[in-house]
Structure 1
Amino acid sequence: MSESASTGLVTVEGKRAVVIGGTSGIGRAIALAFAEDGADVVASSRTREAVEAVADEIRNRGAETTERTCDVTDRESLVALRDETVDALGGVDTLVVSSGAVARESLRTVSDEEWNRVLDVQLTGTHRACQVFAPAIDEGSIVTVSSMAPLRTMPDLAAYTAAKGGVDAYTRAAAKELGPEIRVNAIRPGFFLTPQTEDAYAKGSPRRNGVQRKTEVGRIGRPEELAGAAIYLASDSASYTTGETLTVDGGFSNNAFQD
């Protein structure tokens, strides 16, 4: 057990992390928080410009990184990301899978193509990433990003809800199969302001007002407020935690049935 675990400190200092989907929203906030806390971090996504921009931010925080795009629907790109990370950082201690895709369409009309796209990114993509990176992780951890959708269903999100429900189940299955060498846990975010949600939850909008009214802390979350959960699950202080899902929703689920 490391010194950080024995002293009770929650830190990822000295660890080497990969954040897939790490150039925007929740993933970016986690990647930058890891770097700020002393971890070396590779943040990847499909967009070269975004990968380069976040890599600069990581270096500005004094952390080591490398620049490699990645698509979770493409196994070869995951293998290339893993191999380049191992070469650049000397290994991998933590994998965070935060890639996402949404199809806002009724289950009555959603096409097979859209349904399969969402599941391929959210669920099968999570599996591909875990399968590819697991051999490179020695006594480390994996953190997946789930959602409240499987617990609190919403209209026109059947594909997304099914995919995230699968991520919940997959996280438990992966913890069973990869333990004791690798711990696998999930974060379940509530409502957060990201580039993907800022229009839907614009300030003063009925949707935002409704969410805030049902949230104990009375507001929408900021992506950086999820980073602490990821740091905990990746840290040695969580060495006895696996197969769990940590909800970070400002208390929304506590008021799920409020009018």
Structure 2
Amino acid sequence: MVAYEHTPVSVDGKRAVVIGGTSGIGQAIALGFASEGADVVATSRTESAVSSTADDIEELGANTARITCDVTARQSLDAVRETVVEEFGGIDVVVASQGAISRETVLGIEDDEWNFVTDVALDGVRKVTQTFAPAMDDGGSIVNISSMAARLSMANLPAYSAAKGGVEAFTRASAKELAPEIRVNAIAPGFVITPQNTDTYAEGTEKRAVIDARAPLGRVADREEIVGAAVYLASDAASYVTGEVLTVDGGFGDSAF
């Protein structure tokens, strides 16, 4: 019999931080990591959200810490880093899943709204990388959450699209600079149902019908369907993957009406 071994897709034993990990896709990733054997800290600006998600992480058998975080504030990010290093002894995985969105038009969006979206969704990724990469003493993986809006023409999303396009460019740039010790990749989800947008993508709505008609898989995704991509990129099975954007959109971006 031929003996063959390969690196498994696993985050068991890893120490992970998920910024924006108490809602939406970020929460699904945090809980997914915990269910796969990682210790996970999931952050949010809201103390109640942090506590609730931490309870779920502990129920899954993982260790965690309860700490809020404002991704636009250096001191806040520094506090998270110091807490995780003290509690876990180090950091192996960082996911930047914080988000902000505006549906104003190109001509209608004001400076304050533009700056808020880009401060959180783009500059927040820079701050997360600068804060946590120096603490990843044994190397590891950074996973940024982008969007198919970075590459598709989508109306009324100029700030969000620009921010996510910047996330993908920054991912490639930081992958080059942080190699070989730290791998940096991104995930670009398509239309995903979360507790925050259930009504928007509900079956029977016009928007849902358009999405289902265009996507080759004929539906929107559940947020749990993004977790596998995150586990893979965070795992040692992806040891030769860096600077990549993994699109998880059911084929929507490659299809046409």
Q: TM-score, normalization: structure 2?
A: 0.96
CA-based RMSD? 0.9
Task: Report whether the alignment pairs 1:76 with 2:100.
Answer: no
Cα distance in structure 2, aligned partners of 1:150 and 1:98: 15
1: CA distance between counterparts of 2:222 and 2:105?
28
Q: Output the CA distance in 2 between the equivalents of 1:166 and 1:196.
A: 24
Structure 1 runs of 4+ with >4 Å offset: none
Q: Percent identity?
A: 57
Counterparts of 1:101-250 in structure 2, within 5 Å, are 101-137=100-136, 138-250=138-250
Deviation at 1:116, TM superposition (A): 0.5
Alpha-carbon distance, 1:107 to partner = 1.1
Q: Which runs of 5+ in 1 are unaligned?
A: 1-5
Q: Which residue of 2 aligns with 1:29?
A: 28
DSSP-derived class of the 1:217 partner: coil
In structure 1, how many angstroms separate the alpha carbons of the residues matched to 2:11 and 2:166?
28
Equivalent residue number for residue 94 of structure 2:
95
For 1:220 and 1:89, the matched residues in 2 are separated by 36
Once the two structures are TM-superposed, the CA of residue 189 in structure 1 deviates from its matched residue by 0.1
User: What's the CA shift for 1:199?
Assistant: 2.5
5+ residue gaps in structure 2?
none
Report the secondary structure of 2:240's partner residue.
Answer: coil
Residue 166 of structure 2 aligns to a residue whose secondary structure is: helix
- Give the drift of 1:125: 0.4
Give the secondary-structure state (helix, strand or coil) at the position aligned to 1:86: helix
Provide Cα deviations, 1:207-254, integer angstroms capped at 9, x if missing partner: 011101111111110011000000000000000000000000111122
Shift of 1:197: 2.2
Distance 1:185 1:196 in 2: 25
CA distance in 1, matches of 2:159, 2:209: 26
Residue 77 of structure 1 aligns with an amino acid whose one-letter code is: S
| Mapped partners of 2:107, 2:195: distance in 1 | 28
1:7-64 CA-to-partner distances (Å, cap 9, x unmatched) read 3310000000000000001000000010000000000011100100010100011101
Deviations 1:64-106 (A, max 9, x none): 1000000111110000001001111111000000000001101
Cα distance, 1:151 vs structure 2? 1.4
Tell me which amino acid in the other structure corresponds to 1:204.
G
Q: Distance in 2 between matches of 1:7 and 1:71?
A: 39
**Secondary structure at 1:149's aligned position in 2?**
helix
TM-score by length of 1: 0.96
| Number of residues of Structure 1 aligned to a counterpart in Structure 2 | 252
